[in-house]
Copies of this chain bind each other. A is one copy, B any other.
Amino acid sequence: MESPHSNGALKSCPIHEFPAFAALGEKLTSALKAVESDTVEYTAADTIYTAGVNAQHIYLLREGHVKLFKTTPAGKDQIIRIVKAGEIFGFDGLVDIRYNHSALPLKQASVCRIAVEKLAALGERRPEVERLIMVRCIKELQHADERLLELGAKRSGERLASFLLAWCCDAQTWTPLVLSRLEIAQLLGLTIETVSRLFAQWKRDGLVQEKRQAIQIMDRKQMVTVAGSHC
């Protein structure tokens, strides 16, 4: 079930203005402008799509964050990926009838969505579009490789440190931590308690600081060491 919950009428979305599609060049801009796409606003309570439902749209995240996750038969959630502004998600429709995972906004999300058949039609006329999606997809695959390495071959501290280094691009700067402890745990394949304990320890050690939903890495060098000299 999709529950758009848009703020009033759907607004049209200027796809061609986004960095993801910026490389497509002059000639294509007009074609992109002609593509029918809607802007939809989601709050934390809304569902973007659920695993197993018909995959009708491809999404471009304009603003906010989206979590993609799968659930085990036992009911345990694993977050596959945190989508950031400017990134594409929900390609499943180009291949399968149904979505392979679920998508929820973290706090708030503003997305631009295009119907799969519209995109497929555009792809027929403009092969550059599919090339672009191919490229994005390969990059996602590389990202997934890295995450498999983390989950399969690293300890809890290394995983959390790697995540923080990737999340806080700059050290010594306050960065909003949009994820709850539970969500971090579900992303890293740990429990909420383990994540909490690591944070507590690192705060005592002066490695990180935290204040109401924002975080700061104090000692990037040491954090890199904890992560296992990576990133």
A117 to chain B, nearest CB (A): 15
Q: Are B130 and A73 in contact (CB under 8 A)?
A: no
Query: Given A73-B230, A230-B73 in contact, is the A131-B123 Cβ separation under 8 Å?
Result: yes
> Which residues from chain B contact A138 at a C-beta distance below 8 Å?
91-92, 94-95, 137
Q: Within the assembled complex, what's the spacing in Å between the Cα atoms of A189 and B151?
A: 8
Complex contacts, A142 vs chain B, CB 8 Å: 92, 95-96, 100
Contact residues of A between 75 and 132, Cβ < 8 Å to B: 76-78, 80, 91-92, 94-96, 100-101, 123, 127, 130-131
**Interface membership of chain A positions 213-231, coded 1 if the CB is closer than 8 angstroms to chain B and 0 otherwise:** 0000000000000001110
Q: Would you list 15 pairs from A and B whose C-beta atoms are within 8 A, ordered by A residue?
A: A68-B145, A70-B146, A73-B229, A94-B134, A95-B135, A95-B142, A100-B145, A127-B131, A130-B130, A137-B137, A141-B144, A144-B145, A144-B148, A147-B148, A152-B186
